[in-house]
Amino acid sequence: MRVLSGIQPTGNLHLGNYLGAIRNWVKMQDEMDADSQCFFFLADMHSITVHEAREQRIRNVRDMAAALVAAGIDPDRSVLFNQARVPAHAELCWLLNGTARIGWLNRMTQFKDKAGKDREGASVGLFVYPVLQAADILAYNATHVPVGEDQKQHLELARDIAAKFNSDFGVDLFTLPDPIIPKESARIMSLRDGSAKMSKSDPSDMSRINLTDDDDAIMAKVKKAKSDQEMLPETAAGLAGRPEASNLVGILATLTARTPDAVCAEFAGKGFGAFKPALGEVLVETLRPIRQRFLELRTDDAALDAILDKGAAKAAAAAEPTLRAAYDAMGLMR
Ligand code: AMP
Ligand code: TRP
């Protein structure tokens, strides 16, 4: 088993990133056996699709590295690095640009969403973003890729590129990766609007719980979260048509490793006045140790850079045989 996943180092991490992505990475890392390996990286080469000042970009990479370590990624057990330190990603991306078809990329919904109405004005990087993502995965012959639901289409594209490259060049080089999409908490919703994803780009900070929020801020956000006047039902089926209530129950269920049914059973007949403090308490206790480690780690840039350097050396060595074989299959002499 080779597990691999990436996250863009842009801005602050929030509860959605933690429950939807990072926590699952930590779980997979902790369940690994001796023949398996985990690769987790900061997709800084992908993040050039959003303009950022130089200093901010440098800060973002170190902060995200600190956040991952704080959340439980162990750089001694997992290979933790940033893409820019491993040129194999950019190199393989270029080779795969010969394999990927414009028609395939035209179907990518994330490009359509992010380019918006001004497609002509979008960067080429945004368009070929999924090819770089395929290179990230295929360079390591990853077998399992834990991602959120929104990345499913990009994983299918990586499989299509792998299969076409293998057949075009008559090789059995690239492994077709499988996405690992968590069933629960695949989508944590905004605390202000149960129909919108919790997101770092929401203008209201009350809509999300940041990994840097202190105990009081977390409790205040939970207490002010949008809910409804009804009581909690006996079972989760009674939450139908109540998106805010479903979201809050779902968060508590995920945090306490229970089903939404079990959470409903505990609070049946009670209102959100009783539910919210209980949820806030669990959130505070879960996030406090992560926040404390994060704030400590981010004061030592040299230590963070050393972690990323070490990870990059391991990653480069792991990617090298595949990269060399890809050049060779195409008749490109390095
Ligand atoms: P982003 O910050 O949107 O680039 O997402 C980084 C990672 O966090 C991806 O794996 C997303 O699928 C995941 N993620 C982002 N927002 C949420 C959310 N509201 N609920 C669950 N997962 C999320
Ligand atoms: N595109 C992914 C996201 O926005 C991040 C990413 C980049 C990724 N490369 C990857 C995820 C490779 C999994 C595998 O969340």
Task: Give the list of residues 6+ apart from residue 232 with CB closer than 8 angstroms, or none.
Answer: 238, 245, 249, 264, 267, 268, 269, 270, 271, 272, 275
Q: Could you tell me if residue 142 is inside a domain?
A: yes
Decide whether any atom of ligand 1 lies within 6 Å of the 250 Cβ: no
Q: Could you tell me if residue 167 is inside a domain?
A: yes
Cα 67 to middle of ligand 1, angstroms: 14
Structure tokens at 283: 């959130």
Question: Based on the domain organization, do 251 and 267 belong to the same domain?
Answer: yes
Give residue-wise pLDDT tens across range 14-63. Answer: 999 899 889 999 999 999 998 999 999 999 999 999 999 999 999 999 99
User: Taking the model in full, what pTM does it have?
Assistant: 0.93
Length of the chain: 334
Three-state secondary-structure class, residue 3: strand
Q: Could you tell me if residue 198 is inside a domain?
A: no
What is the atom index within ligand 2 of the atom nearest the CA of 43? 7
Ligand 1 atom 16, closest CA: 16
**pLDDT score at 77:** 96
**pLDDT score at 273:** 96
Question: Based on the domain organization, do 159 and 289 belong to the same domain?
Answer: no
Q: Indicate which residues carry an active-site annotation.
A: 114, 197, 200
Between the two ends of the chain, the Cα-to-Cα distance in Å is 30
**pLDDT score at 96:** 98
Place of tokens 């994330």: 110
Task: Give the list of residues 6+ apart from residue 151 with CB closer than 8 angstroms, or none.
Answer: 179
CA–CA gap between residue 71 and residue 294 (Å, rounded):
8
Q: Could you tell me if residue 65 is inside a domain?
A: yes
Cα 211 to middle of ligand 1, angstroms: 13
Side-chain half-sphere CA neighbours of 250 within 13 A = 24
Place of tokens 């970009």: 57
CA–CA gap between residue 191 and residue 315 (Å, rounded):
38
Question: Based on the domain organization, do 305 and 280 belong to the same domain?
Answer: no
Give residue-wise pLDDT tens across range 113-162. Answer: 999 999 999 999 999 999 999 999 999 999 999 998 889 999 999 999 99
Question: Based on the domain organization, do 251 and 222 belong to the same domain?
Answer: yes
Question: Based on the domain organization, do 127 and 85 belong to the same domain?
Answer: yes
Decide whether any atom of ligand 1 lies within 6 Å of the 9 Cβ: no
- Residues in the chain with pLDDT values less than 70: 184-186
Cα 188 to middle of ligand 1, angstroms: 9
Domain of residue 153: give its range. Answer: 2-186+301-329
Q: Could you tell me if residue 22 is inside a domain?
A: yes
What is the atom index within ligand 1 of the atom nearest the CA of 148? 12
DSSP character at residue 2: E
Question: Based on the domain organization, do 221 and 168 belong to the same domain?
Answer: no
Question: Based on the domain organization, do 33 and 93 belong to the same domain?
Answer: yes
CA–CA gap between residue 140 and residue 106 (Å, rounded):
26
Question: Based on the domain organization, do 34 and 145 belong to the same domain?
Answer: yes
**pLDDT score at 186:** 66
Question: Based on the domain organization, do 209 and 81 belong to the same domain?
Answer: no
Q: What is the DSSP string of 291-331?
A: HHHHHHHTT-HHHHHHHHHHHHHHHHHHHHHHHHHHHHHHT
Decide whether any atom of ligand 1 lies within 6 Å of the 7 Cβ: yes
Q: Could you tell me if residue 197 is inside a domain?
A: no
Question: Based on the domain organization, do 289 and 166 belong to the same domain?
Answer: no
Name the closest ligand to CA 137.
Answer: 2
Q: Which of 46, 11, 230 is nearest to 134 (CA)?
A: 46
Q: Could you tell me if residue 200 is inside a domain?
A: no
Ligand 2 binding pocket mutation candidate from 14, 39, 136, 180 (most atoms within 8 A of CB): 136
Question: Based on the domain organization, do 11 and 140 belong to the same domain?
Answer: yes
Cα 170 to middle of ligand 2, angstroms: 28
Question: Based on the domain organization, do 61 and 122 belong to the same domain?
Answer: yes
**pLDDT score at 184:** 65
Structure tokens at 152: 């499913």
Tell me the CATH number at 133: 3.40.50.620
Tell me the CATH number at 265: 1.10.240.10
Cα 107 to middle of ligand 1, angstroms: 21
Q: Which of 248, 299, 304 is nearest to 277 (CA)?
A: 248
Instruction: Provide the number of structural domains found in the chain.
Output: 2
Cβ atoms 311, 75 nearer than 8 A: yes
Tell me phi and psi for residue 101, to 5 degrees. -105, 145
Cα-to-chain-centroid distance, residue 68: 11
User: Which residues approach ligand 2 with their CB closer than 6 A?
Assistant: 4-8, 43, 46, 133, 136-137, 145, 147, 151
The angle that helices 54-71 and 23-31 make with each other, rounded to 10 degrees, is: 50
